[in-house]
Amino acid sequence: MRASRFRVTLKGAVLLAWCSPASAQFHQPFRPLPVVMAKPNWMAFAPDGKLLAIAEGKTVRLVEFGTGNLVATLRHETAVDCLAFFPDGKTVVSVASSEALCFWEIPSSKREDIDLAFLAGFAADFAVTSLAVCPRENIMAVGTKESIFLLDWHTGRIRQISGCGPHAGTLAFSPCGRLLAGAVDASPPDTGDDSTIATRRSSHDLRVWATAGENTFPPCDDSAGFVCHTAFSPDGRLCAVVSADGRGAVWEVASGKKVLDDSQLHRPSLWLYPMDFADGRTLVYADTFGFQWRDVLTGQELHYLTKHECYKGHHVGFAVSPGGRRLAIATADKGVLFRDGLGMVPKKPAGPRRDLKSLWDDLASADAAVGYRALWEMSERQQAARFLAERVKPFGDETAIKDLILRLDSPRYAIREQASRELKKMAEIAVPYLRGALAEQRSLESTRRIEAILRPLSEGARSPQFLQQMRAIGVLEKCGTPEARALLKRLAQGDASSPWTREATAALDYLARTDKNDKR
């Protein structure tokens, strides 16, 4: 099978599409075509990657990726700020006015406007700053100048993200729809002076929330100022962010720690632009002079495509399709450039081969880079699922937790101490029970012990046992063997309040979606 190149035209705009089979050489460059179009502002892919929305000022055009055929034209009265597809790919929501949402049927372009005045009961200033649609349900996340809201268009339910202040930058759902990432203002209220304004601009922290309302994930460590663009890895375990001042980093969601820092992503004196994932291990992003592909595990630069290989001007838009299989680049002089096969970069081993016991120990590491590297290394071993079957168990016995909480009131000091130690080991899954115990009338010492167990969690700390179990589930997900899937199903049958149960369920969902995509 030979790779093919084809030329398509859209409203006088020349687009390039470069399609390559899986065996094609990764280093095959784009082939730019003459341009006769105004430069677009930004782009977004439909959930199945078959449609691309291209915004140019007040107009959004939807184009078929394979043929370049114009599917729909969405005309607004003002410049379009943001746009998102609903899961079925047949409905699009956009924000043209900061206080109204526009819903469009595709391909008819039928439009319905929804005034956001209904948010007045939640926020005095409900001007929209960002928008995202859950890829699995008809739930939207709307960021305003005061907070972030989840809107369910089937039930009409509105939920404000708890503990969330003013929002800035983009919002992003994980591919499974279970997580939402965004930046919130952690600074004191604005007093109007210049020093306060400067502080507020650098005080936006990256946060990840569970959309179902269960335990909040730890705040992302050292994330102040990362407010511009956010993207999840296909498995939802990593979150990549680029700041408004051209910095970038990648965080592990479970630990809230960095896997890659800004210093590992930059070439000298380069300004980073939006980044995304070509696969679970490959990061692709734009900088001042071109595009980089980088291995998240090793930090190694896999490939660098200078813009002079594709175009002479500068890029004004960047989009990666869900699943990371297609890249679209909007340029000032060559229109829109497409490419398939982003994750086909050969990768080097993460390090010398180690035994499974050593890798198991590293899964508990507080260093996110060490723990995530161990996750990938273990997933490449044939015996990994059998090894983990003896070490990871479904959580289903809440009686043990309640018994330990009762022992905090024991008259014997040794029993109280042992109960505290055991509860600290399972603190993340014991949170709802510990909070419930605080609401009861208890002894002063018991209350203090419970508060001491919960305090590190509120500050973002996670126990080694928690990280080890969460990453072990990631190993099983990446193995994807029948034995690994059987173990995930067992783990998913645990208590619904357990984060391990939810993680195993999400892993099975990811595998099901991957199987479906592979059959397409």
Tokens standing for 505?
């369920």
Q: Report the C-alpha gap between 183 and 473 in whole angstroms.
A: 27
Q: Kindly report the average pLDDT of the chain as a whole number.
A: 77
| Amino acid code (one letter) for 266 | H
**Residue 289 pLDDT level (bands cut at 50, 70, 90):** confident
Q: Report the C-alpha gap between 248 and 227 in whole angstroms.
A: 10
Diameter of the chain measured on Cα atoms: 83
Residue 31: strand, helix, or coil: coil
Q: Report the C-alpha gap between 370 and 362 in whole angstroms.
A: 6
Hunting for tokens 């007093």 — which residue is that? 191
Full domain range(s) for residue 516: 353-520
Q: Is residue 288 a part of any domain in this protein? A: no
User: pLDDT at residue 195 above 50?
Assistant: no
Please tell me the predicted confidence (pLDDT) of residue 168: 58
Q: Report the C-alpha gap between 68 and 7 in whole angstroms.
A: 8
DSSP state at residue 180: E
**Residue 485 pLDDT level (bands cut at 50, 70, 90):** very high
User: pLDDT at residue 33 above 60?
Assistant: no
Q: Which of 312-326, 388-402, 501-515 has the lowest mean pLDDT?
A: 312-326
Q: Is residue 506 a part of any domain in this protein? A: yes
This prediction has a pTM of 0.81
Distance between the two ends of the chain, CA-based, in angstroms?
Answer: 18
Q: Is residue 170 a part of any domain in this protein? A: no
Tokens standing for 385?
């699922």
Q: Is residue 486 a part of any domain in this protein? A: yes
Please tell me the predicted confidence (pLDDT) of residue 12: 32
| Amino acid code (one letter) for 115 | D
Q: Report the C-alpha gap between 364 and 360 in whole angstroms.
A: 7
Q: Other C-beta atoms within 10 Å of 357: how many?
A: 9
| H helix intervals, 380-481 | 384-389, 398-407, 413-425, 427-438, 444-458, 464-479
Q: Is residue 80 a part of any domain in this protein? A: no
DSSP state at residue 134: -
Query: How far apart, in Å, are the Cα atoms of 161 and each of 50, 116, 147, 283, 403?
Result: 32, 17, 7, 29, 33
pLDDT digits over 258-285, tens only?
999 888 887 665 677 778 888 788 888 8
Q: Other C-beta atoms within 10 Å of 296: how many?
A: 26
User: pLDDT at residue 468 above 90?
Assistant: yes
Hunting for tokens 């979606």 — which residue is that? 513
Q: Is the peptide bond before 107 cis (omega within 30 degrees of 0)?
A: yes
Complete edge-to-edge strand list for the sheet that includes strand 139-144: 128-133, 139-144, 148-152, 158-160
Q: Report the C-alpha gap between 186 and 206 in whole angstroms.
A: 10
pLDDT digits over 119-175, tens only?
665 655 667 778 899 988 778 888 877 778 888 877 778 888 765 655 556 788 998
Looking only at the bridges linking them, the beta strands covering 290-295 and 301-306 are antiparallel
Q: Is residue 292 a part of any domain in this protein? A: no
Q: Other C-beta atoms within 10 Å of 139: how many?
A: 23
| H helix intervals, 161-236 | 194-201
CB neighbour list of residue 253: distance below 8 Å, 6 or more residues apart: 179, 208, 217, 236, 237, 238, 239
Query: How far apart, in Å, are the Cα atoms of 49 and each of 26, 268, 275, 325?
Result: 20, 34, 17, 8
- CB distance 385 to 403 below 8 Å: no
- CB distance 339 to 319 below 8 Å: no
Written as one string, the DSSP assignment of 382-399 is TTHHHHHHTT------HH
Q: Is residue 62 a part of any domain in this protein? A: no
Looking only at the bridges linking them, the beta strands covering 335-340 and 13-19 are parallel
- CB distance 37 to 14 below 8 Å: yes
User: pLDDT at residue 286 above 60?
Assistant: yes
Tokens standing for 75?
């005309």
Q: Which of 243, 223, 232 is nearest to 277 (CA)?
A: 232
Q: Which of 361, 359, 390 is nearest to 478 (CA)?
A: 359
pLDDT digits over 343-366, tens only?
555 556 656 778 999 999 999 999
- Rounded mean pLDDT, 453-461: 77
How far is C-alpha 434 from the geometric centre of its chain's CA atoms?
A: 29
How far is C-alpha 359 from the geometric centre of its chain's CA atoms?
A: 25
Which range, 18-32, 297-311, 441-455, has the best average confidence (pLDDT)? 441-455
| Domains identified in the chain, total number | 1
Q: Is residue 229 a part of any domain in this protein? A: no
